[in-house]
Amino acid sequence: MNVSLFITCLADTFYPNVGESTVRLLDRLGVRADFPEGQTCCGQPAFNSGYRDEARDVAKTLIESFEKSEYVVGPSGSCIGMIHHYYPLLFEGDSRWEERAKKFVSKSFELSQFIVNVLGKQDLGARMNAKVTYHPSCHAMRLMGIKHEPLALLQNVQGLELVDLPFAEDCCGFGGTFAVKMHEVSGAMVAEKAEHVKETNAEILVGTDMGCLMNIGGRLRYEGAPVRVMHVAELLWEGVKS
Amino acid sequence: MSVKPAMPLKERMKHAIADETLIEAVKKTTDRLEGGKLASSEALGNWQEWREQGSRIRSHVVQHLDYYLGQLIQNVKKRGGHVHIADTAEHAVQIFLDITKQKNAKSVLKSKSMVSEEVHLNKALEEIGVKVLESDLGEYIIQLFGEAPSHIIIPAIHKNRYQIADKFSAISGEQISEDTPTLTAFARRKLRQEFLEADIGVSGCNFAIAESGSIVMFTNEGNGRMVTTLPPVHVAFMGMERLLPSFEDLETFVNLLPRSATGQKITSYVSVINGPRKEEDLDGAQEFHLIIVDNGRSNILGDDEFQEVLNCIRCGACLNVCPVYRHIGGHAYGDVYPGPIGAVITPLLRDDMKVWGDLPYASSLCGACTDACPVKIPLHDMLVHLRARKVKLGLTPGWERMAFRMYRGSFANPGRYRLSMRAAKLMVPFMAKDGYIEKGPLHMLGWTNARHFPSPAPQSFREKWAQLSAELEGPKGGDSK
């Protein structure tokens, strides 16, 4: 099995620990992954803002860098969702790129989806004594249909108390450039999300997407709320290595 | 009609967010409606199949709109009704004013109709001195406030009962208490007198049935039946696309519409109107007019990216689940149709991206609207398509175009990407504190008003990779085979 990591620009730059946890977790599961260095970003910031030509050029760079991979695994439902949902549209009718894009789509997986559905593993032997709540990111949930996979992994962590997040499926207000462009309403949305997180009295908020977690985590820190924010890969790796 | 909102979108949003009473009222009701919808649709069992079926029927109608419109017109006429086609909002209003003049009408009674809101009928009638009264409780309330609806189904969603009791007390000169039964009873008393005096009744049309020439209305208050049967003349406004081929197709929408709109299995009344009163009929209007309104809809026909939006049955489900709508209410959208559906159809119907091109950005693209839509319109995709259209028309700001050119320049070139990431990191020590930027310059400002921003990690993942990879390659690299 030849697995390549797509670490996403956000994780690469701000959260290398998420990438590291991803690769160590896969290694523990017997999967040796490589990291094609030509990768940068999925193109979502440009695409969602309406800049299709710009998004297309960035997407081509990504497709090229994973051409030789059998599987592409990334720790972000949003970026993988961009690939699955919009790459076919972006290259529709382009004789040189349509097929390459489709091939890329069919081999790309979000991390929890890959572990649960491709590797067929749910219990990674992790332990952690903590009260945890889970925010299901919109794109993982709605573009990728990833609902039970992260929960299955979390439910199998020994000692972990998983509490329901009220209004879990409401967007946190990140939305990429939305958080900057419409920052007033985005700010109101994330304030509400942080309220719900605090209501759970959880010590850790866990998610599958660093965009949302950067937003919610940034709000919790702004309020001085003592909630730790972790990507599912970080939590699992921390639980496995101890 | 050239309609321009008084303030830019950002200003409208800011005002709405600051109005705590409004936001609290909107959140309370949308939460209730969303919960009701989930419960009633799950109880149906195979909700996804109903949605598929609904989508299929609506797409079929829209694809063959000319055929079904022809059939409808023929059948309405056969039943003795008059049919008018209005290309524009002005045209629709003119047709109505002509009927008013011809009948020498002094007072018009309305049942809720989004299309008559869309063409601004009330304003035109008031200008010529014809009394116009809304008979739907929600519409009646906002008419008293001199406002427009802020939700497709619950027009007065943004008002709480204390505000309503104050308004009722002010117009009646007596103290009206704020409990719901008292408020409803007061409105009923006031409206009943008017029902008997009205010269023309105006209604909307949830669906028109092509094969029978009937119009169908879903209502909860009974006022729809009064409006369409008591006054001597009944005029129905219909959006050009609101057709179904047959009564068999209506069954699907009897299941989909009330559940999506209010969480009800069925509304209190489903009225089917087959033209004017016949000699043997006990009630009904003596004259029936159907005004079929285009007003920008044919611009959308034949457009691959947007045609499906004509499948919309105006249930408001996308509003109830939209986190942006719940934080700003309906008026901030600046026109008749609020929420995700409004953000899509307003720029299209108005055919003016210069004035309305900011609406598609009023969404975090979370996709809740698409998930909620009973006829599976991919609303969040359409919002992205509209943004692309705005870019293509060259209507986005220069700094933004420059920013995305720079994004392409560095992100489509791994070498330059590494360089620019390093350059960005050099800036950070001047702004960050404990790994976070708490107040940033320029465009950071919006973000840091409500949250802190992380500073780039000292070592990026790709910088760590060589070491990490060597470590895992080594003899202790986990339990890999």
Tell me the CATH number at B243: 3.40.50.10420
Q: Are residues B463 and B444 in the same domain?
A: yes
Q: Does residue B14 belong to any structural domain of this protein?
A: no
> What is the share, in percent, of chain A residues with pLDDT greater than 90?
98
Q: For residues A153-163, give the mean pLDDT.
A: 98
More confident residue, B442 or A24: A24
Rounded CA separation B149/B156 (Å)? 6
CB pairs under 8 A between A and B: 214
Q: Are residues B335 and B457 in the same domain?
A: no
- A46–chain B nearest CA distance, Å: 6
Q: Are residues B242 and B321 in the same domain?
A: yes
- A95–chain B nearest CA distance, Å: 20
Q: Does residue B386 belong to any structural domain of this protein?
A: yes
Q: Does residue B267 belong to any structural domain of this protein?
A: yes
Interface residue B433 vs chain A (CB under 8 A):
no
Q: Do A173 and B449 touch (CB under 8 A)?
A: no
Pick the CATH number of A122-241 from 2.30.280, 3.40.50, 1.10.3210, 3.30.160: 3.40.50
- B234–chain A nearest CA distance, Å: 43
Look at residue A192 in the predicted model and tell me its pLDDT: 97
Q: Are residues B416 and B313 in the same domain?
A: no
Sign of CA dihedral B331, B333, B339, B341: positive
Final residue of a structural domain among B396, B430, B462? B396
The mean pLDDT value of chain B amounts to 93
Q: Are residues B383 and B433 in the same domain?
A: no
Looking at the 3D structure of chain B, how many domains does it have?
2
Q: Are residues B349 and B444 in the same domain?
A: no
Answer whether residue B1 shows pLDDT above 50: no
Look at residue B478 in the predicted model and tell me its pLDDT: 42
Question: Do the two domains A2-117 and A122-241 of this chain adopt the same fold?
Answer: yes
Q: Does residue B2 belong to any structural domain of this protein?
A: no
The mean pLDDT value of chain A amounts to 97
Q: Does residue B188 belong to any structural domain of this protein?
A: no
Look at residue A43 in the predicted model and tell me its pLDDT: 97
Q: Are residues B353 and B430 in the same domain?
A: no
Q: Which of B361, B408, B461 sits opposite A11 (nearest CB)?
A: B461
- A94–chain B nearest CA distance, Å: 18
Look at residue B476 in the predicted model and tell me its pLDDT: 46
Q: Are residues B380 and B419 in the same domain?
A: no
Q: Which of B391, B408, B457 sits opposite A14 (nearest CB)?
A: B457
Lowest mean pLDDT among A182-186, B182-186, B233-237: B182-186
Cα Dmax for chain A: 54
Question: What pLDDT digit, counting tens, does each position of A85-97 carry?
Answer: 999 999 999 999 9
Q: For residues A174-186, give the mean pLDDT.
A: 94
Rounded CA separation A30/B4 (Å)? 61
Question: What pLDDT digit, counting tens, does each position of B380-422 carry?
Answer: 999 999 999 999 999 999 999 999 999 999 999 999 998 888 8
Residues of chain B neighbouring A169 (CB-CB closer than 8 A):
368
Answer whether residue B18 shows pLDDT above 50: yes
Name residues 28-87 of chain B within 8 A of A (Cβ): none
Q: Does residue B194 belong to any structural domain of this protein?
A: no
Answer whether residue B3 shows pLDDT above 70: no
Q: For residues B97-118, give the mean pLDDT.
A: 96
| pTM of structure | 0.95
Final residue of a structural domain among B396, B423, B447? B396
Rounded CA separation A41/B430 (Å)? 26
Domain extents in chain A: 2-117, 122-241
Q: For residues A17-23, give the mean pLDDT.
A: 98
Confidence of residue B190 (pLDDT cuts 50, 70, 90): confident
Q: For residues A51-77, give the mean pLDDT.
A: 97
Answer whether residue B428 shows pLDDT above 90: no
Residues of chain B neighbouring A171 (CB-CB closer than 8 A):
323, 364, 366, 368
Residues of chain A neighbouring B15 (CB-CB closer than 8 A):
none
Q: Do A221 and B436 touch (CB under 8 A)?
A: yes
First to last CA, chain B: 70
β-pairing, A33-34 vs A3-5, is parallel
Q: Are residues B241 and B368 in the same domain?
A: yes
Asked if B73 and B97 count as a contact pair (C-beta separation under 8 A), the reply is no
Q: Does residue B165 belong to any structural domain of this protein?
A: no
How many CA atoms within 13 Å lie on the side-chain side of B224? 21
Confidence of residue B424 (pLDDT cuts 50, 70, 90): confident
For B77, left (φ over 0), alpha (ψ -120 to 50), or beta? alpha
Rounded CA separation B3/A12 (Å)? 47
Final residue of a structural domain among B396, B411, B446? B396
Q: For residues A132-150, give the mean pLDDT.
A: 97
Q: For residues A44-67, give the mean pLDDT.
A: 97
Look at residue B427 in the predicted model and tell me its pLDDT: 77
Look at residue B479 in the predicted model and tell me its pLDDT: 44
Q: Are residues B434 and B354 in the same domain?
A: no
Q: Which of B364, B368, B453 sits opposite A218 (nearest CB)?
A: B453
Q: Are residues B417 and B316 in the same domain?
A: no
- B2–chain A nearest CA distance, Å: 25
Which residue's structure tokens are 């009264």? B133
Q: Does residue B176 belong to any structural domain of this protein?
A: no
Interface residue B368 vs chain A (CB under 8 A):
yes
- B209–chain A nearest CA distance, Å: 34
Q: Are residues B56 and B113 in the same domain?
A: yes
Q: Do A186 and B364 touch (CB under 8 A)?
A: yes
Residues of chain A neighbouring B480 (CB-CB closer than 8 A):
27, 30-32
Question: What pLDDT digit, counting tens, does each position of B323-339 carry?
Answer: 999 999 999 999 999 99
Q: For residues B188-192, give the mean pLDDT.
A: 86
Answer whether residue B477 shows pLDDT above 50: no
Full domain range(s) for residue B32: 21-159+199-396
Q: For residues B290-305, give the mean pLDDT.
A: 96
ipTM for this model: 0.96
CB proximity list for A29: less than 8 A, separation 6 or greater:
A115, A119, A121, A124
At the second CATH level, the architecture of A2-117 is 3-Layer(aba) Sandwich (3.40)
Q: Do B368 and A171 touch (CB under 8 A)?
A: yes
Q: Which of B407, B447, B480 sits opposite A183 (nearest CB)?
A: B447
Confidence of residue B475 (pLDDT cuts 50, 70, 90): low
